[in-house]
Amino acid sequence: MKRLPINMPDALKEDFEKMSEEVGLSQNQLAVMALHSLVANYESKGSFIFADLLNPEHRSNKK
């Protein structure tokens, strides 16, 4: 196993902690699941999967 330290905005970290508690999985488990999903999606659909995430409207439409 290799480690991957990451930095994230405080609000994202708080939401991630809340999600972890709600679903009963560790933050590490959730992050690994998300990364597996991201890599699989990228391998099947290519780099256009980032278009929506990079769209400024996506960031401003937060809950």
* Amino acid, single-letter form, for residue 39: V
Stretch 48-57: mean pLDDT = 80
CB atoms within 10 A of CB 25: 14
d(CA 38, CA 18): 21
Q: Are 16 and 26 in contact (CB under 8 A)?
A: no
Tens of pLDDT, residues 1-40: 999 999 999 999 999 999 999 999 999 999 999 999 999 9
pLDDT of residue 7: 96
d(CA 2, CA 11): 26
- The predicted model scores a pTM of 0.76
Looking at residue 8, the DSSP 8-state letter turns out to be: -
Tens of pLDDT, residues 32-44: 999 999 999 999 9
Joined together, the tokens standing for residue 39 give 């890599």
